Amino acid sequence: MNKRNKFLSVFLSFILLFSVACQDSSDSEANISEEDSEVTEDLSQGESQQGGSVILGITQEPDSFDPHLAAAAGTKEIIYNFFDGLVKLMPDSTFEPALAESYDVSDDAKIFTFKIRENVTFHNGKELTVDDVVYSLENAAGINDGTLKVPQLSIIDSVEADPEQNEVSVTLKESDADFITYMTLAIVPEDYSEQATEPIGTGPFVFTEYQPQQHVKMEKNENYWRERIAYLDEVTFLIVPSADAAIVDLQAGNIDIFPYLTADKKDLLKDQYNFVTADSNMVQVWGLNNQEEPFDDPIVRKAMDMAVDKQMIVEAVTFGEGKVLESGMAPSMGQYYNSNLESQYNPEEAKKLLEENGYSDLNITITVPGNYVIHVQTAEVIAENLDAIGVQADIKSVDWGTWLSDVFQGRNHQSTVIALTFDHVAPATVLSYYYSPSDMNFINYSNPEFDALFEEAQSITNEDQRVKLYHEMQQMLQTDAASVFIQNPGVQTAISKKLGGYTTYPQYVQDMYEVYFVAE
């Protein structure tokens, strides 16, 4: 699999996961959306106690348990519990040392040196060494076998171990200040060939069983390297056919945690469950092809942005729980997200702008992947908004394969509604969709000033300077009306009132290490 297609499989698998819940409730037009990690009740209330078993419902069959090959987000949420990286992403989008007890970055952001933690063992009893770290990085980067497994690691030039200092140094082909965000990569034991079916890592839980179409089971790692081992004795990821089907099990109390709950189901479960609406690190966008008429004219793009009632989309499509966006980033990007951007819903001004510039009787096409209800419904609201300013919008529904080949890869579209999501909390990954040389720039946005800022931000390590540059880039996208940024949807989770400690992250994972039963 080449770099581009591997990236697509990762990024688009999350969209598939997100839309599973949306499709299941299409009869009631229910879809899930996002606010900033809102918790309706204090899930940490009460004292934690050791022990117990938890059942978590999932709607996707896992693919490969090998962390360097797994593409489906539904798999990654499970195997997160089996592995550790050199660093760990925290809920506030920062990173803390994990299997690397510390690390240093060269001034030019080309050499990253990691001090590897001692006295860590894999689930098979093997002690973690610098050789395991080198193997993991080289395996994911395709250095050892020529097969690139993690696209972001193609930038690695070499990986060297210093056994005496217990350090590993990674040299990059070019500067990349975001590289540390990729070091959540799972570290695996060297020369172990059964990861795809019997995963072994250093994580807080040990894989015990997988029954296709039934469940994945794990038990706590009694030899976990952190000061505290997991609270829970056992976790079962129960595979259910759909989000709606899970409601029966939730009402019966057969599932303790369910992360795909649609907003309209909360009233059915409020007596037994608490609810968390967590950031999905996702940007829903009405992508305007900047090289196709009439969207090659920034005046038309600006009028489209003024004509779309984003709050109406949030209310009608995601039940008021989404967050209106003016940026190509989601708030989960922390300080890199430019929260100062504003726009005004003003259909009268939009219509006037078009008329003054000679645009009348416009007829445009919005191509959507028809099996994703959230995007179809969003396109329908947009079409209503445009009708109010005299623009006819035709919605063209295509299957997923066609959307992927024609719209995303072929850029053969006038406009499209989709959600962009990201495996890594790396600002460059997020804004690469607007970098003109990028294969991911499916809207054909081109601005030399943006490209220059993008490249500069990759080459410097000063955090304040990088934040400033990324804020400027987001401002530039808005000024150019590159597309219409709609909302940041989220994932709503039902959690048994018997449990505490459930934690959400900017990455989509299910962290069972923090979950516990509340002492009675």
The domains located in the chain, with CATH, are 83-182 (3.90.76.10), 205-272+497-518 (3.40.190.10), 282-489 (3.10.105.10)
Res. 3 pLDDT band, cuts 50 70 90: very low
d(CA 280, CA 418): 14
The tokens describing 185, both together, are 């990569």
Total Cβ atoms within 10 A of residue 46? 17
pLDDT tens figures, 450-485: 999 999 998 888 889 999 999 999 999 999 999 999
pLDDT, tens digit, for every residue of 242-275?
A: 878 889 999 999 999 998 777 778 888 989 999 9
Rounded Cα distance between 252 and 77, Å, is 24
Range scoring the smallest mean pLDDT among 9-13, 298-302, 428-432:
9-13
Q: How far apart are CA 432 and CA 440, in angstroms?
A: 7
What pLDDT is recorded for position 59?
Answer: 84
Q: Phi and psi at residue 409, in whole multiples of 5°?
A: -80, -45
The answer to whether residues 376 and 405 touch, using CB atoms and an 8 Å cutoff, is no
The 10s digit of each residue's pLDDT in 74-99 is: 899 999 999 999 999 998 888 999 99
- According to the model, what pLDDT value does residue 43 have? 54
The model's pLDDT over 160-208, given as tens digits with 9 standing for 90+, comes to 999 999 999 999 999 998 999 999 999 999 989 999 999 999 999 999 9
pLDDT for residue 44 is more than 70 = no
pLDDT digits (tens, 9 = 90+) for 199-232: 999 999 999 999 999 999 999 999 999 999 999 9
Q: 16 phi and psi, to 5 degrees?
A: -60, -45
Residue 24 confidence class, pLDDT cut points 50, 70, 90: very low
Residue 20 confidence (pLDDT): 45
Cβ neighbours of residue 434 closer than 8 Å, sequence gap 6 or more: 328, 441, 443, 445, 447, 450, 473, 477, 482
Name which residue leads in pLDDT, 318 or 473.
Answer: 473
Q: What is the pTM of this model?
A: 0.79
pLDDT reported for residue 45:
59
Mean pLDDT rounded to a whole number for the chain: 89
Contacts of residue 452, Cβ cutoff 8 Å, sequence gap at least 6: none
Q: Can you tell me the distance from the alpha carbon of 37 to that of 156, in angstroms, rounded to the nearest whole number?
A: 34
pLDDT of 520 higher than 90: no
How far lies 225's CA from each of 128, 205, 502, in Å?
11, 12, 21
pLDDT digits (tens, 9 = 90+) for 91-150: 888 899 999 999 999 999 999 999 999 999 999 999 999 999 999 999 999 999 999 999
